[in-house]
Amino acid sequence: MARKGGDLEAFVAFLGGLLAAGLAGLAMAGVGLAVRPTPALRSAALVTLGAVWLTATTTVYWRLRARTR
């Protein structure tokens, strides 16, 4: 019986996006210890984390959906 939907792929993609954003956040925190972050730099870091999460989630989801078809 073929599985329909894509809920599992979406959940795995969400977790993959969180993992990628978490790793990017840890790297940014390490850089923040070495360099004194300004408010503009903090805002740019938040935007970057959001973009990393969205890009990673979308990419993982598309690859998983293509694999199941």
pLDDT digits 0-9 by tens, 3-62? 677 888 999 999 999 999 999 999 999 999 999 999 999 999 999 999 999 999 999 999
Q: Could you tell me the CA-to-CA distances from 20 to 35, 44, 53, 65 in Å, in that order?
A: 22, 17, 6, 19
Kindly indicate the confidence band of residue 67, based on its pLDDT and cuts at 50, 70 and 90: confident
Q: Is the pTM of this model over 0.75?
A: yes
The pLDDT, as a whole number, for residue 55 is 96
Q: Domain residue spans in the chain?
A: 12-64
User: How many Å apart are CA 38 and CA 69, to the nearest integer?
Assistant: 47
